[in-house]
Amino acid sequence: MKILAGLTFALLLSATSFGQTNATEAAPIDCEGATHNLFSELEAGKIIVIGWTMPCASCAGPLLEAHNAVLSYAVSNPGVVEYWMTDDYANSACNTIQNWCTSNGITSAEYFASAELDMSDYGTAGMPKVVVLGCSDHKVYYNENNGSPSGAGVTAAIDAALADMAIGCAAGVEELYVTNMAVSCFPNPASSVLNVTVGMVAPQEVVMEVVGLNGKVYSSVSVEDLNLLTDGVQIDVNNLATGFYLLKVTSNDAIVVEKFEVK
């Protein structure tokens, strides 16, 4: 099946324009003496955000933004997104890294001084550097350095990883193409009903699923012979808890995923 997940792959293709599209295996030991197997954690459903610092004064702002972006998922996706902080060439002691992070407000992270977390695995150096890794096939969703990392960029990458995880990570997709199926959903945020319109070249059956960012399917609707944008479907979201969800629309040859919020 050829697949296009509107939110997921648009962000993925942008985020991995640096050439490195998959993570490199690593088993770093953190400053508390615990070993972390990167691939095992990704395969267990974690999203790992890694920040590198010298430490340096100019690193603080972007790395704090990344830290705060990770913290914003603590309620909606508890235990899923982790922030790993390390230095650039593993030549700083753990207490140096921890003290620098604490003094700059980076207080919720796993701290490392390990050569296992080699930034050269993800292209060029240049502090600060941030990557976002996720999915069972170890994708790189974000890769920025030289002062470019931003909270907004990290958030978009985490959302893309969550969307990918919700549809099974779409591993093995060989071809992406611009689908002729256009999906819109409104209002967004929704409170009781989500209105969905789908534009297609020719009528065909589609399946609409409301999926949580944890991958749970909350509802599924099958619609036959959906016409051009003249047809609309109403999906009841009144019983959903406040938070973010994905609308996954599947036809014979395409999948489109749209993110929406319930308030």
Cβ–Cβ under 8 Å, residues 205 and 222: yes
From residue 202, how far is each of 138, 246, 257 by CA, in Å?
Answer: 36, 25, 20
158, 73 contact by CB (below 8 A): yes
Smallest Cα–Cα separation from 199: which of 186, 216, 187, 183?
A: 183
Across 234-254, average pLDDT: 87
Contact 166, 77 (CB under 8 A): no
**Tens digit of pLDDT for each residue in 49-95?**
999 999 999 999 999 999 999 999 998 888 999 999 999 999 999 99
Strand partners, 157: none
What is the Rg, in whole angstroms, of the alpha carbon atoms belonging to the chain?
A: 20
- What is the C-alpha separation between 143 and 21, in angstroms, rounded? 10
Residue 211, pLDDT > 90, answer: no
Mean pLDDT of the chain: 84
Instruction: Centre a 10 Å sphere on the Cβ of residue 57 and count the other Cβ atoms it contains.
Output: 10
Element of type H or E holding 247: strand 243-250
Tell me the average pLDDT across 41-54: 95
Tell me which residue has tokens 């340096």. Answer: 56
36, two tokens: 């972390």
Region 25-46: mean pLDDT is: 95
pLDDT of residue 231: 59
Q: Is the pLDDT of residue 143 over 80?
A: yes
100 and 86 in contact (C-beta within 8 Å)? no
Q: Please give the structure tokens belonging to residue 139.
A: 């994708």
Distance CA 64, CA 156 (A): 16
Q: Is 156 helix (H, G, I), strand (E, B) or coil?
A: helix
Nearest to 255 by CA among 181, 186, 200, 195: 181
Q: Are 11 and 184 in contact (CB under 8 A)?
A: no
Q: How far apart, in Å, do the first and last CA atoms of the chain sit?
A: 34
Q: Which of these ranges, 45-59, 92-106, 135-149, 201-215, has the smallest mean pLDDT?
A: 201-215
Quote the percentage of the chain above a pLDDT of 90: 57
In residues, how long is the chain?
263
Residues of the chain with pLDDT > 70, as a percent, come to 85
- List CB contacts of 116: < 8 A, sequence separation 6 or more: 26, 27, 28, 29
Reported as a single tens digit per residue, the pLDDT across 104-123 is 999 999 999 999 999 999 99
Mean pLDDT of 193-219: 84
| Greater pLDDT, 239 or 205 | 239
pLDDT on residue 224 = 79
DSSP 204: E
Write down all domains in the chain, each with its CATH number in brackets.
Answer: 6-170 (3.40.30.10), 182-262 (2.60.40.3080)
pTM greater than the 0.85 cutoff: no
Give the pLDDT band (50/70/90) at residue 14: very low
Strand partners, 217: 211
Question: Which two structure tokens, joined as six digits, stand for 162?
Answer: 């969550």
